[in-house]
């Protein structure tokens, strides 16, 4: 079977990122974005999706967390899109619920080639650690646009914003794990014949 591995570099005046992604890994991670909570969330995503992910980012954190969070998500989405190739032989769709204590999140994905993000996390705080809560939602949107996937994520309940965020990343991980899995067929999962 063809390896589904991608390496992506992004260098701008705001960030410098190197990323390596293996969709058929064991959940081995080596992540340093410069934002502790983002490292934690991307680690949870890769581990539960069973992706091997190496990510290094040097960003303009002296400005704020936005460029780093956004660009890491852009590169992750681009890598996933590249690793999937023409998307032949994958399930395409995936959905999952994930709890974390009192929090419960739902994620639904479709690797349709038509990007969309519908994200409702319901945060109450301005920030978790050194990342603004608005940028956590933006991570999901930037990822979806660059992975060329429709991604719907909503947190159904939860009092603790850390738990809400982590449940959302874990639900997405489980949905991705199923959606990108090989289904035993060689065709493109679309009535159009292309994705």
Domain contains 150: yes
Beta carbons of 160 and 102 less than 8 angstroms apart: yes
Q: How far is 98 from 164, CA to CA, in rounded Å?
A: 10
Domain contains 195: no
Beta carbons of 25 and 50 less than 8 angstroms apart: yes
Among 52, 50, 47, 44, CA closest to 20: 52
What totals of helices (H) and strands (E) does the chain contain, helices first? Answer: 4, 10
Tell me what pLDDT residue 171 has: 99
Tell me what pLDDT residue 193 has: 75
Rounded to 5 degrees, φ, ψ at 147 are -85, -5
Q: How far is 35 from 77, CA to CA, in rounded Å?
A: 19
Tell me what pLDDT residue 185 has: 83
Domain contains 69: yes
Q: How far is 37 from 130, CA to CA, in rounded Å?
A: 7
Domain contains 163: yes
Domain contains 194: no
Q: How far is 171 from 49, CA to CA, in rounded Å?
A: 9
Q: How many residues comprise the chain?
A: 195
Domain contains 73: yes
Report, as ranges of residue numbers, the positions in the chain whose pLDDT lies below 70.
Answer: 1
Tell me what pLDDT residue 189 has: 76
Tell me what pLDDT residue 2 has: 86
Tell me what pLDDT residue 187 has: 78
Number of domains into which the chain is organized: 1
Q: Give the ranges where 50-160 is alpha helix by DSSP (H).
A: 66-84, 133-147
Q: Strand, helix or coil at 107?
A: strand
Domain contains 185: no
Q: How far is 42 from 120, CA to CA, in rounded Å?
A: 19
Note down the domain range covering 26: 5-179
CATH, residue 116: 3.30.230.40
End-to-end CA distance of the chain: give it in Å, rounded: 20
Q: Strand, helix or coil at 112?
A: coil
Q: Which pTM does this prediction carry?
A: 0.96
Domain contains 131: yes
């Amino acid at each position: 079977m063809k390896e589904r591995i991608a390496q992506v570099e992004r260098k701008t005046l705001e960030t410098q990122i190197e990323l390596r992604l293996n969709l058929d890994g064991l959940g081995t991670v080596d992540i340093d974005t410069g934002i502790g909570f983002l490292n934690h969330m991307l680690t949870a995503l890769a581990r539960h999706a069973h992706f091997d992910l190496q990510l290094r980012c040097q960003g303009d954190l002296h400005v704020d967390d936005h460029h780093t969070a956004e660009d890491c998500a852009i590169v992750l989405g681009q890598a996933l899109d590249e690793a999937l190739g023409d998307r032949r032989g994958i399930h395409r769709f995936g959905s999952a619920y994930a709890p974390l204590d009192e929090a419960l999140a739902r994620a639904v994905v479709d690797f349709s080639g038509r990007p969309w993000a519908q994200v409702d996390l319901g945060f109450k705080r301005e920030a978790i650690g050194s990342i603004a809560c608005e940028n956590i939602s933006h991570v999901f949107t930037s990822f979806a646009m660059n992975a060329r996937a429709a991604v719907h994520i909503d947190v159904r309940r939860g009092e603790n914003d850390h738990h809400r965020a982590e449940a959302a990343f874990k639900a997405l991980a489980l949905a991705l794990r199923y959606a990108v899995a090989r289904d035993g067929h060689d065709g493109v999962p679309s009535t159009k014949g292309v994705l």
